[in-house]
Structure 1
Amino acid sequence: MSLMCKDPQARVDHGFDWSAYLAGQSIVASQWTVTPDEAGGVMVEADAHEAQRTSVRLSGGAVGRLYRVTNRVTLSDGQEDERSTLLRVEER
C-alpha cells in the first residue's frame, strides 16, 4: 500500500491504473471511500472512471491524521475488486 501526503488546504487528484489486472475486462463502476469518515476529515470532491483507470479529487483533512482512501470497482463481467492507499495530512 502506498503513502501520499497532502496539506489540509490542498485539493489533490489521485488515481489507479487497473489495466494490468483487468484481463480483458473493463471498469463499469467505481466508488471511492475515505476512512475514517469524520467531520473535518478528507472528503471526496469528485471522481471519474474510464475503461481501465479511476480517479478522485480529495480535499480537507485534519493535520497529523492518517486516512485510508479506497477505490472499489465493478468490472464488465460482474467481478468486484478494490485498492487502497494511505493519505497523511501535514502542513506543507
Structure 2
Amino acid sequence: MIKDPSAVKDYGFDWSPWMSSGDTISSSTFSADTLAVTSSSISSHTTICFIGSGSAGGNHKVTNRIVTAQGRTDERSFDMKIINL
C-alpha cells in the first residue's frame, strides 16, 4: 500500500473467505507502528481502519488482529509505504 504523508484514508481486510458459516467478528484491533490509526470499525466480515500521518520515505507494518464470536483469533498485516504523491 502507498499513502501520502497528509492523507487520512481507510484500509482494511475482508475476512469472509476465512470465516466459518455463522461466525462473526466480535473484536478488531489495528496497530500501525508509528502511524496514527484514527478510527476503526467492523462491517459484517470486513474490518476497516483510517490511517493518518507518516513521514515521506517511511515504511510501516499495519496489523489487524481479530477475535470471532466462535473464539477464533487471527492476524493479518500489510506494508504501508509513505511517499509524497
> What residue is the counterpart of 1:31 in the other structure?
29
**Structure 1 counterpart of 2:18, from 16, 21, 43:** 21
User: SS at 2:75's partner residue?
Assistant: strand
Structure 1 distance, partners of 2:40, 2:20, is 24
Long gaps (5+) in structure 1: none
In 2, are the aligned partners of 1:15 and 1:54 still within 8 Å (CA)? yes
TM-score with structure 1 setting the length:
0.87
> CA RMSD of the aligned region, Å?
0.9
Say if 1:34 and 1:68, in contact at 8 Å, map to a contact too: yes
Partner of 1:12: 9
Q: In 1, distance between residues paired with 2:3 and 2:32?
A: 14
Percent identity (aligned): 31
SS in 2 for 1:19: coil
* Matched length: 84
